[in-house]
Structure 1
Amino acid sequence: MSLGKKVFIVGPGFIGWNVLDLLAKENYSVTGYVRRQEHADQIKATGATDTVLGDLNDKALITKHALTHDVIIHTATADHLPSVLAILDAVEQRAEKGLSTIFIHTSGTSVLDDGAAGSHKSDKVFHDNVLSEVISVPDTAPHRQIDLAIIKAQKQLAEKAKIAIMIPPTIYGVNPSHGRLTIQIPTLTRYALKHGYAGYIGEGLPVESNIHVLDLAKAYQVVLHHLESTPADSPDILDNPYYFIETTGDDEPSWKDIASVIGAELHKAGLLEDPTPRTIPSENYNDLFADFTDAVIGLNSRSRAVRLRKLGWTPTEKSWRESFVQDELPIILKEEGDRKAFGGYKGTVAS
């Protein structure tokens, strides 16, 4: 591994901030591309060398700064094509100058969405070392159009760049130094507090793999080191850019299982009269993920991180249940504001 390389992280938020922390400790020079000065100050306090204030739609600004960095990591969202194209433009310009670039993009396992909409558990499990399984998803799947744009550029660039696509499942957990929460389970918890019951989509039977955010950040670190130390013309890089990241197939809860834990814990806290979860009617989806609700919390999405484990990566953090009870729920219960006014997740879904 070469220390001291310049890293540009686009969107060092819930995922990327944790990646930034790890790389800063390894003496990488890390620049974070953020929207707010407050967050710029936060990431500088944890090791960022520099910050750039900007919007994801500012392609010229993103390209400008990506041009001066050896490593580019996109963790802002899995569904913003202009920012990805801005990075790819920079990677191509660098290649024309004889400069190699490492680009790590964040997709998500909603790309594996089978359209179950809460109806059933699937036996289909995807393995990242079997390329045919990964690319078997339709081009219309969530995140897929962005992934395909990256693959197209990768084929054109060949050994002139090293590109990886990270595909995390349901992300949970908290870095106590950051205090930020993830999306799915906290949103379902806030829904329960507003409506008086824990809920799930349809029958709540589909399952999705999961990963603690700190284990996820370590996965980015492992992949970066692998890309640095592997020749650019290696088939391992050129033929398969995909990496799944999950804890273990032995702990894949159904969405009903998750709702049951939410209901039980809120009942224990005296905030729900009845802990029994039930189906959420579609007219309430605006209090969840609006039109994306089925694809975020009603899907089957089962993945196996075969490639990462071969590289020595092993998840070590708390299970999703322990993390929810011990870390996330206490933060949610301290949130200020009228719980009855909660209006769903308004950000860009990256799962």
Structure 2
Amino acid sequence: MPSVFLVGPGLIGGEVLDLLLINKEYEITTLVRREAARPAFHELGVKTVLGSLSDKTVIASQTASSDIVIHTATADDLPSVQAILEGVQERTQRGQQAIYIHTSGASLLGDNLEGSYKSDLIFDDEKESSIDALPDSAAHREIDLAIVNARKELSSHAKFGIMIPPVIYGVSTRERRLSIQLPTMVRYSIKHGYPGMIGQGLSVWNQVHVKDLARGYVTLLHWMEQASCNEVAENPYFFCENGEELSWGQCAAEIGRILHKAGKVADPTPKTIPTENYDDLFGEYSGLVVGSNARNRANRLRKLGWRPQEKSTFASLEEDEIPLILQETGEFNGYAAPVASGTFESKK
């Protein structure tokens, strides 16, 4: 039975975990930060190791003893990725194969147009060269490059895949977790009393429901298990989008409609967010994370048989996410966790 080490059993990882548990085809171990979190996983038949992303020895050791590693905790933690690569290298030195699926993000593709217009540039994951042509300073790129460079050295025994999700939406099954981008826009709109957008809101991103994204990971994993090392080494990049492109202005308008209906904003009409309020979004990365263009096509996953199945972004917002957000208490002061790396320059 193949062994899987899951780093990050949260929004994405929790859904991937549930899918891997269905057919009982894998022996799964996950990294947990707190002792109190371990019993819930043990009840599911999942083993645990205690540690954080900064515990390189723990991560490297578990990677070295695992056939498969799936990192869904963050796209922006280089030390944990370096630890995984150390573990993968140890396996290859013993003549053992390894599979590593890493989570990046479509901010990698983002521009600095800050809502000024819809870009014509669409990335295709069958064209590896277009992604590799991105600047080293692009969001997430430093971390992705660590994997791309390791692939050159270790690809005779190791298989590397980089999943690049767009806007993720939906609510996780067991812990009722929410995604980042749209819920932050909702919380901003509630706090400030109007649906906000960056600039004119014309920039566009693709969308994917977290459950469809999790199916994408499992589709990718099953292909990587069957494909040769040489075949996998040809191109590490995979997009995962449901065919729905939305501008940030459209998202703000829908948030405004729903919040107006709930009595949370007086006027549903979107307004431009002043730069001095960006700390109530994503700080210096606000223009990139909820104001850029990041258009892409998941041609590779579709050719492997993956298809989106879940409800649309706006149906999910109205039926699932916003009702949960309206139950939240306490003051919202922006999204505090890291959302991007690199040296993206805002226009302001």
Q: Which residue of 1 aligns with 2:261?
A: 268
Instruction: Report the residue type matching 2:278 in the other structure.
Output: Y
Indicate yes or no: 2:182 matched with 1:185.
yes
CA distance in structure 1 between the partners assigned to 2:40 and 2:212 by the alignment: 21
Change in CA separation of 1:117 and 1:43 when aligned onto 2, cut-off 3 Å = farther
Indicate yes or no: 2:53 matched with 1:56.
yes
Instruction: Report the residue type matching 2:241 in the other structure.
Output: E
Indicate yes or no: 2:35 matched with 1:33.
no
What is the DSSP-based 3-state SS (H/G/I as helix, E as strand, rest coil) of the residue aligned with 2:230? coil
CA distance in structure 2 between the partners assigned to 1:260 and 1:9 by the alignment: 37
Q: Which residue of 1 aligns with 2:337?
A: 347
Runs of at least 5 residues in structure 2 that lack an aligned partner in the other structure = 342-348
CA distance in structure 1 between the partners assigned to 2:168 and 2:132 by the alignment: 22
Q: Which residue of 1 aligns with 2:290?
A: 297
CA distance in structure 2 between the partners assigned to 1:315 and 1:342 by the alignment: 32
What is the DSSP-based 3-state SS (H/G/I as helix, E as strand, rest coil) of the residue aligned with 1:273? coil
Q: Which residue of 1 aligns with 2:307?
A: 314
Alignment of 1:5-84 (within 5 A): 5-27=2-24, 28-45=26-43, 47-84=44-81
CA distance in structure 1 between the partners assigned to 2:274 and 2:322 by the alignment: 24
Deviations 1:111-151 (A, max 9, x none): 00111122211011111011122222111100001111101
The runs of at least 4 consecutive aligned structure 1 residues that moved more than 3 Å come to 37-45
- Higher mean displacement: 292-301 or 25-34: 25-34
Indicate yes or no: 2:243 matched with 1:245.
no
Deviations 1:227-265 (A, max 9, x none): 10111222xx111010000000xx311101000001110
Instruction: Report the residue type matching 2:294 in the other structure.
Output: S
What is the DSSP-based 3-state SS (H/G/I as helix, E as strand, rest coil) of the residue aligned with 2:88? helix
Deviations 1:190-218 (A, max 9, x none): 11111101101111110000100000000
Q: Which residue of 1 aligns with 2:226?
A: 229
- Higher mean displacement: 9-18 or 25-34: 25-34
Indicate yes or no: 2:120 matched with 1:130.
no
CA distance in structure 1 between the partners assigned to 2:187 and 2:50 by the alignment: 31
Change in CA separation of 1:42 and 1:258 when aligned onto 2, cut-off 3 Å = farther
How far off is 1:100 after superposition?
0.5
CA distance in structure 1 between the partners assigned to 2:39 and 2:272 by the alignment: 42
How far off is 1:349 after superposition?
1.6
- Higher mean displacement: 299-308 or 172-181: 172-181
CA distance in structure 2 between the partners assigned to 1:34 and 1:330 by the alignment: 29
How far off is 1:43 after superposition?
3.7
Paired residue for 2:162, among 158, 161, 165?
165
Paired residue for 2:321, among 320, 323, 328?
328
Indicate yes or no: 2:115 matched with 1:118.
yes
Runs of at least 5 residues in structure 1 that lack an aligned partner in the other structure = none
Q: TM-score, normalised by structure 1?
A: 0.94
Contact 2:281 2:334 in 1 (8 A): yes
How far off is 1:26 after superposition?
2.4
Change in CA separation of 1:262 and 1:39 when aligned onto 2, cut-off 3 Å = farther
- Higher mean displacement: 314-323 or 112-121: 112-121
Percent identical: 51
Contact 2:14 2:172 in 1 (8 A): no
CA distance in structure 1 between the partners assigned to 2:157 and 2:45 by the alignment: 27
